[in-house]
Amino acid sequence: MALWMETGSEPKTETEIADLEAISALKESTALELKEKGNELVKKGKKHYPEAIHCYSRAINQKALNDPDTSVLFSNRAHVNLLLGNYRRALSDSQDAIKLFPANVKAYYRAAKACLSLNLLAEAKSYCESGVGKDPTNEELKKLAKQIDLKKLEQEPREAQVSKALVEAKDLVSAIEDRRLKLGNAMYRELTGLRKPVLDKNGILHWPVLLLYAEFMSSDFIEDFCETDMFSAHLDIMFSESCPPLPWDKENHYSRDAIELYYEAGSGICLSKRKILRYLLEGTAAANVESIGEEEKDAADGSPYDSSAGSSKWVKVNEKRTLHDVLKEPNFIIPMIPVYYVVSKRSGFYKDFITGKWRPPA
């Protein structure tokens, strides 16, 4: 009997030919019945959608229909996948339908719908245009094309903001690298918030600088400390005689002639370029962008300036030096924004500080 013929062999007798024709007719009939059953299930509502997909799949697996009819099966299954929110599967089925029968206009519509749901706007518009090319009077495709154009218009400002944020952050990272500065994990985020350095149009870095009065754990901010400024210039303004005394400095220890600035050297681990870029993107339109283009050959954390194995120490800042000169010190890992500790030589706390008896809170 033809049913048991070996694969690749041709029917020779009239009986074998008749058997094969009967099998083909049975498979075709089964495929058509499954298709109609799938259609009926779709009409019954959402809880029947998975069963409808199963019917269409079984019909496709019969491999008994011609290309246009099989294309309809793929397109129907794409329709149900769209209804279920299975947009990738819907797109794949629509593409298979188009390959089998390029005149299947519904397949173009469903491919465009799937792409729109996946935010593949260029591809969605392309499928709409191809579908209208096959059927210039198709109003559904024209309406969908307008929806796609509207979504593109809505996204363009957002995409421009994302692009701008990425460019600015990458320019900042390049400027930091060019200066051979080392950045580590942020400290005192409750005080610093989302403050970040800014690169001006002349390529000069402007840093927000946190000043911590270690004795009282109070703080001040220099919001715009140009890297070419000397520390003395800012301190002269902050501690000038015309400025009111600090509210907690009851004994007036923190005067211009008595204060000293220190940074903590040998503390922290230098972060990778990718992590620095991620930090700089926080709070921007590009904060949640998956790919930032810096994943390749990125140096690991701790290389090459890992000082965590050694003990940290306080280093006094020479007020006549610029911010840039101090930041580029080999032993200074910037905790995302510069942090300096202010102490007074007149205070009893001073000795505890410089001898290392006081440590920043963890």
The CATH number of the domain holding residue 126 is 1.25.40.10
- Answer yes or no: is 90 within a domain: yes
Residue 296: is its pLDDT beyond 50? no
In a domain, 360, yes or no: no
Provide the domain limits for residue 102: 14-152
74 found inside a domain: yes
Q: Are residues 34 and 147 in the same domain?
A: yes
Q: Is the pLDDT of residue 19 over 70?
A: no
147 shares its domain with 184: no
Per the domain annotation, does 173 fall within a domain? no
Question: Are residues 228 and 338 located together in one domain of the fold?
Answer: yes
Residue 162: other Cβ atoms inside 10 A: 18
Same domain, 112 and 216: no
In a domain, 70, yes or no: yes
Distance CA 275, CA 303 (A): 13
Compute the average pLDDT of residues 103-128.
96
Helix (H, G, I), strand (E, B) or coil at 316: strand
d(CA 172, CA 271): 15
Does residue 280 share a domain with residue 231?
yes
Tens-place pLDDT, residues 180-202: 999 999 999 999 999 999 999 99
7 lies in a domain?
Answer: no
Q: Are residues 193 and 86 in the same domain?
A: no
Rg of the chain over Cα atoms, rounded to whole angstroms, equals 35
**Number of domains composing the chain:** 2
For 126-177, what is each residue's pLDDT tens digit? 999 999 999 999 999 999 999 999 999 988 898 899 999 999 999 999 999 9
Q: Which amino acid is at 255?
A: S
Model confidence at 14, in pLDDT bands (50, 70, 90)?
confident
Average pLDDT over residues 112-134: 96
In a domain, 157, yes or no: no
Tell me: do 91 and 142 sit in the same domain. yes
- Which residues fall within 8 angstroms of residue 76, CB to CB, at 6 or more apart? 35, 38, 39, 42, 56
Q: Of the candidates 133, 152, 171, which is a domain's last residue?
A: 152
CB-based contact 235:319 (threshold 8 Å): yes
pLDDT at 10: 67
| End-of-domain residue from the set 111, 134, 152 | 152
The span from the CA of 318 to the CA of 323, in Å, is: 10
**Residue 35 or residue 244, greater confidence:** 35
- The reply to whether 113 and 188 lie within a common domain is no
Same domain, 342 and 198: yes
Residues 100 and 187 occupy one common structural domain: no
Confidence of residue 294 (pLDDT cuts 50, 70, 90): low
CATH of the domain at 280: 3.10.20.90
Pair 148, 184 in one domain: no
Is 171 a member of any domain?
no
278 in Cβ contact with 292 (< 8 Å): yes
The confidence score (pLDDT) of residue 244 equals 85
